[in-house]
Amino acid sequence: MRLKSLPSNKLQPLKRKSPLQVDRAKQLWKALSLRYPNAHCALNWSQPHELLIATILSAQSTDVGVNKATPALFKAFPSIEAFAKCEPSEIEPFVKTLNFWRNKAKAVVESMKMIQEVFGGKVPSTMNELLQLRGVARKTANVVLGNAFDKNDGVVVDTHVGRLSQRFGLSRESDPIKVEQDLMALFPRKNWCQLSHLLIAHGRSVCKARGNTCREDAICKEYCCEGKLKRSIR
């Protein structure tokens, strides 16, 4: 089968960033790495297809919720083949606690079927191949490439990464693809996967989506445009 080249895989050429912007990004990277040395993917998985499934299930749901659902699911369906042979209705009872569970059950079965039939039973390890799978967009593909295959093809932009990128002045964009491109232009490629783990760690522990307290946090003080603004008003 000849694979389509998908529009979401066609990024614009990266914008050039000034040396000052790149240096600031480097300092932020250092500060976050020191603060969160153990930042890593919060989803539990042991094989690439499990990470792919967990990431599909995590859309609009918490990682904690997904981690509660997946042990029984992965036990009942221990391989790609087992998932590919089943009906979505067999998956549904395991994922009913998650948002959009019906669609997610379908996406899980269809993506595993395609892996079995088109990719020889192995999770593909390129962006374009992953994007052919149902339920997989750049964010999911980046999670799988970065964590299961150690490939830095892009940056995972979830809600935390999007929010922190704006607050830290790394991007003015709200479209995740454009935020991703800004981050790719600011940080060295080898750091792309870990960058999202670091921003997510800060998002979860200090800068929450709602009710963040803009504490007197050293990283916030130095890098957050919003925090600086609030302090100057006080």
Q: Are 56 and 135 in contact (CB under 8 A)?
A: yes
Two tokens, residue 97 = 């606690």
- Given 6, 76, 177, 214, the residue binding ligand SF4 (CB under 6 A): 214
Nearest-approach distance from CB 35 to ligand SF4, in angstroms:
12
> Which residues are CB-neighbours of 227 under 8 A, at least 6 positions away?
167, 214, 217, 220, 221
H or E stretch including 212?
none
153 binds ligand SF4 (CB under 6 A): no
Q: What sign for the dihedral angle of Cα 140, 145, 149, 152?
A: negative
Q: What is the Cβ-side half-sphere exposure of residue 81, based on CA atoms within 13 angstroms?
A: 2
Q: Is 158 in the active site?
A: yes
217 binds ligand SF4 (CB under 6 A): yes
Nearest-approach distance from CB 158 to ligand SF4, in angstroms:
16
Angle at the Cα of 127 (from 125 to 131), degrees rounded to 5? 110
Q: Of 198 and 220, which has the nearer Cβ to ligand SF4?
A: 220
Two tokens, residue 112 = 């595993």
- Given 95, 98, 114, 207, the residue binding ligand SF4 (CB under 6 A): 207
- List 139, 153, 182, 217, catalytic entry: 139
Only segment of 27-35, 71-79, 82-90, 205-213 that touches ligand SF4 (CB under 6 A): 205-213
Site for ligand SF4 in 165-184 (CB under 6 A): 167
Q: Is 23 in the active site?
A: no
Which positions touch ligand SF4 (CB under 6 A)? 167, 206-207, 212, 214, 217, 220, 224, 226-227
